[in-house]
């Protein structure tokens, strides 16, 4: 594939700098490093470079004066990680009054694209000018123009050197395009579109899906425009248009594909084994346990497994991944059952996962009783819970903020009947819990509402189940917990994960590319946090969230999954995505405006909240330091034309369905800018890590977090209740997703939880020369040091036996917002990648 070759790094050294004999011109030597596939030649003399002056203007073009062209010469090659790197030399002549270079123009007259990594110029006085390019340069025959790259020196718009003003304006205009036509691979155009590509109505009404975005009924964040006809995506499409600079690197894509093949191998072998069973359900917990390997030493080799994989994996994907000669036979053992295979059955672990599991952002402290939603009031009575409050009266528990709720009720009610008609058994649940003296959560009651029979599906039925320790009632309690877990799994995947990180961030990326020059300091700040997101989202639209996609096949929400996410986008507020605001809203923290964070934890053994606030403060401090370097006062923010256009476009276009909301800040102060940038970086890094990295740990074992339930809780006097009494474990297993659904879900969790070797983590950069500002680099190093200190504190907390929620009965240490890299580990539950990159 063309994605695997032609990466370029341009470095121009001082070794060849000299005066020519007339003393009126400078001769600048340089180097250009091209990385490409061993079987292909580099561009050589077919690539030329010209330098723009930042201070001297050409009166004809109103741009900086342009040097003569220089060709690449004298290529020397070496190999690195299977790719060929060729180093070329160039010579550039400029007049002595040329001034400081601020940009350069490169033309690719070769037949292949190449990847320009960086450039370095050395000017008289030995001053070095860096260019952090990291961009694909396509042939002029395709683009009809060369590419301009700006130096790493940042300028707010009104401080732009005169020679770069017109170039800055022209570059942004070209990136916006005109909103017409189908995008081609080489286009560098960023524009918005609605989600009109999820359904496939050509395949029948079952595959029709509403268009998300652009209407009051189905509001949604915008995605990147491709110009393709709507509703035409039916299979995985690696060539779906994404601007080239937003695409995953060839190496990352290859690793990702290999992970897909690995998970597919696990799935196929599990499916092959299931053919020997008469039932589609698991027949015992031991049978589920057999899906996993206790060690990673077992591997499958040879043609048989590859033949099976090749039948279900698209040819180009299979070809990319066949460099790996062996794959593990079974799924890796999830951490939730590694130390204690029965810990998941305990109520303490059930409660702990609401604070330290993969969806720790939904639980909130109950401030009025009975719980109320937008549609209903809870059926749970004080008498259901008052004898289970560890000696406190109900009034005391409420006054002390000791009763909590996990609410998945009212937002599901309008969908239950439709889901039931599709053959699933959905329930809407409310779970009440009590905060004990040791800060563990003890479940008090579960309220379940579910559709009536097929003959009467207009109404719903409701039951309240309270915990029991043994016998039939204890088994019934386990069934109720399974329905809660199914609700939480779907909410996590569709809302906490997809909507509130992946989907809401994409408009920010598009606006940043369209409205902020690469010279803008905020562009430099945000760029690492947008890496690969648009490509990952585009892939998700082809295989995960589309009609008939994996999420519809595995979650109980089925074909209504994305419609449900649209409904809950109506509740989304950007200002509430700031962690302190979120915690205060959920009554998990107190509003303490005089503190640097602005919030004080209600209790300290809330791992997500406590570790998250540490990371939030580190990000907030770094962003504040960064903004203080470039913005003197509020007026400097108000007068920044690019920031104002950026913010206006986010509000009115990217999140245009919420343009009239009053909670958007006005972006008129430094405080507005700092809070916005801190929140955005938090979402793309730590928030996404907290809801993504632990998926396999907890959801990789279906009994712990089933994605759907195939049975309701049985009602006394029915055949189902008799079936339940006869064999409660069998009833539970029959309630879980069937073998196919379960193994597909496990395979998906395995892929989504893996980190690739190219991952760049919070506090890291892809290059040390990402910005030419010594003070910024010093502040960034301070940020990095603060993250290392947070890592130490997290490890100390995880080792504190008094903090029971840090590990829980399952002995899974909480590291989902542990900043550090994973040191080569793959299926992990730690590390904060810079961006929403998987």
E strand segments, 691-776: none
From the candidates 688, 704, 755, 773, give the one annotated as an active-site residue: 688
Residue 144 falls in the annotated catalytic set: no
Residue 688 falls in the annotated catalytic set: yes
Cis preceding-peptide flag for 126 (omega within 30 of 0) = no
Nearest in space to 472 (alpha carbons), one of 716, 725, 711, 703: 725
Give me the sign of the Cα torsion angle 121, 124, 128, 132. negative
Strand partners, 590: 600
Strand partners, 730: none
Nearest in space to 732 (alpha carbons), one of 724, 744, 740: 724
Which structure tokens are listed for 68? 């003569």
Q: Are 465 and 476 in contact (CB under 8 A)?
A: yes
b/e for 503-523, b at 16 or more Cβ within 10 A? bbbbbbbbbbbbbbbbbbbbb
From the candidates 502, 535, 655, 755, give the one annotated as an active-site residue: 502
Q: Are 269 and 556 in contact (CB under 8 A)?
A: no
- Alpha carbons 749 and 105: distance in angstroms, whole number: 44
25-36 and 18-19 beta bridge pairing: antiparallel
b/e for 299-329, b at 16 or more Cβ within 10 A? eeeeeebbebbbeebeeebbebbeeeeebbb
From the candidates 497, 520, 529, 535, give the one annotated as an active-site residue: 497
Which structure tokens are listed for 161? 């050197």
From the candidates 259, 546, 692, 773, give the one annotated as an active-site residue: 692
73-80 and 83-95 beta bridge pairing: antiparallel
Strand partners, 94: 26
- Alpha carbons 541 and 551: distance in angstroms, whole number: 11
Residue 838 falls in the annotated catalytic set: yes
Start-to-end CA distance of the chain, whole Å, equals 21
CB atoms within 10 A of CB 16: 16
SS (HEC) of 92-141: EEEECCCCCEEEEEEEECCCCCEEEEEEEEEECCCEEEEEEEEEEECCHH
Which structure tokens are listed for 554? 């595995």
- Alpha carbons 212 and 506: distance in angstroms, whole number: 14
Residues with a catalytic annotation lie at 497, 502, 688, 692, 838
């Amino acid at each position: 594939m063309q994605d695997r070759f032609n990466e370029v790094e341009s470095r121009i050294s001082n070794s060849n700098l000299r005066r020519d004999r007339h003393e009126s011109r400078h001769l600048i030597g340089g180097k250009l490093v091209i990385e490409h596939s061993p079987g292909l030649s580099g561009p050589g003399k077919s690539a030329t470079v010209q330098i723009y002056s930042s201070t001297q203007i050409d009166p004809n073009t109103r741009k900086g004066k342009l040097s003569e062209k220089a060709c690449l010469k004298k290529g020397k090659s070496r190999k690195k990680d299977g790719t060929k790197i060729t180093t070329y030399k160039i010579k550039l002549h400029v007049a002595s009054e040329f001034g400081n270079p601020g940009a350069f123009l490169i033309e690719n007259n070769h037949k292949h694209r190449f990847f320009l990594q960086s450039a370095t110029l050395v000017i008289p006085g030995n001053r070095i000018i860096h260019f952090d390019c990291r961009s694909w340069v396509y042939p002029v025959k395709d683009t009809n123009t060369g590419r301009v790259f700006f130096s790493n020196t940042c300028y707010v718009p009104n401080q732009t050197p005169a020679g770069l003003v017109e170039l800055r304006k022209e570059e942004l205009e070209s990136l916006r395009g005109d909103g017409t036509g189908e995008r081609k691979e080489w286009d560098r155009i960023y524009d918005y579109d609605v989600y009109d590509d999820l359904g496939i109505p050509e395949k029948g009404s079952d595959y029709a899906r509403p268009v998300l975005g652009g209407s009051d009924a189905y509001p949604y964040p915008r995605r990147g425009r491709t110009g393709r006809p709507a509703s035409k995506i039916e299979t995985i499409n690696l060539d779906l248009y994404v601007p080239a600079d937003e695409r995953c690197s060839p190496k990352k894509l290859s690793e990702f594909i290999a992970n897909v093949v690995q998970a597919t191998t696990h799935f196929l072998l599990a499916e092959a084994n299931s053919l020997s069973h008469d039932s589609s359900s698991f027949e015992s917990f031991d049978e589920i346990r057999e899906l996993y390997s206790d060690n990673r030493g077992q591997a499958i080799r040879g043609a048989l497994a590859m033949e099976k994989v090749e039948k279900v994996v698209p040819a180009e994907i299979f070809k990319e991944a066949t460099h790996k000669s062996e794959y593990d036979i079974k799924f890796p053992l999830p951490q939730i059952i590694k130390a204690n295979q029965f810990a998941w059955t305990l109520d303490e672990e059930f409660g702990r996962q609401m604070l330290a599991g993969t969806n720790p952002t939904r639980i909130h402290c109950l401030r009025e009783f009975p719980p109320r939603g937008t549609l209903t009031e809870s059926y749970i009575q004080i008498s259901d819970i008052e004898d289970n409050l560890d000696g406190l009266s109900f009034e005391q528990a409420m006054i002390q903020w000791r009763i909590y709720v996990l609410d998945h009720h009212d937002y599901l009610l309008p969908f239950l009947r439709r889901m039931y008609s599709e053959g699933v058994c959905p329930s809407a649940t409310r779970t009440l819990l009590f905060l004990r003296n040791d800060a563990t959560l003890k479940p008090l009651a579960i309220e379940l509402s579910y559709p009536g029979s097929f003959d009467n599906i207009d109404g719903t039925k409701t039951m309240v189940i309270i915990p029991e320790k043994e016998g039939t009632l204890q088994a019934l309690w386990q069934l109720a917990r399974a329905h809660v877990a199914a609700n939480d799994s779907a909410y996590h995947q569709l809302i906490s994960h997809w909507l509130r990180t992946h989907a809401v961030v994409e408009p920010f990326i598009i606006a940043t590319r369209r409205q902020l020059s690469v010279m803008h300091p905020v562009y430099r700040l945000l760029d690492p946090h947008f890496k690969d997101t648009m490509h990952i989202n585009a892939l998700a639209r082809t295989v995960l969230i589309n009609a008939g996609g994996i999420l519809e096949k595995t979650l109980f929400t089925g074909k209504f999954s994305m419609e449900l996410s649209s409904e809950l986008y109506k509740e989304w507020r950007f200002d509430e995505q700031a962690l302190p605001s979120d915690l205060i809203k959920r009554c998990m923290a107190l509003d303490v405006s005089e503190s640097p964070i602005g919030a004080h934890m209600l209790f300290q053994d809330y791992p997500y909240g406590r570790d998250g606030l540490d990371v939030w403060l580190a990000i907030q401090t770094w962003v504040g330091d960064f903004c203080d370097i470039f913005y003197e006062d509020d007026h400097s923010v108000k007068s920044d034309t690019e920031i104002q256009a950026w913010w206006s476009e986010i509000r009115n276009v990217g999140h245009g369905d919420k343009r009239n909301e009053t909670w958007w800040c006005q972006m008129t102060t430094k405080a507005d800018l700092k809070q916005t940038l801190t929140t955005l970086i938090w979402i793309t890094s730590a928030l996404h890590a907290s809801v993504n990295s632990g998926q396999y740990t907890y959801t990789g074992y279906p009994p712990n977090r089933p994605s759907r339930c195939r049975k309701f809780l049985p009602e006394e006097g029915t055949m189902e209740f008799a079936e339940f009494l006869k064999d409660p474990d069998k009833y539970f297993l029959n309630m879980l997703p069937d073998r196919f659904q379960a193994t597909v879900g496990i395979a998906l969790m395995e892929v989504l939880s893996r980190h690739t070797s190219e991952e760049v983590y919070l506090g890291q950069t892809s290059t040390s020369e990402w910005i030419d500002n010594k003070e910024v680099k010093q502040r960034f190093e301070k940020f990095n040091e603060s993250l290392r200190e947070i890592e130490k504190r997290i490890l100390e907390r995880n080792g504190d036996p008094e903090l029971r929620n840090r590990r829980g009965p399952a002995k899974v240490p909480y590291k989902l917002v542990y900043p550090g890299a994973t040191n080569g580990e793959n299926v992990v539950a730690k590390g904060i990648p810079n961006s929403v990159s998987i």
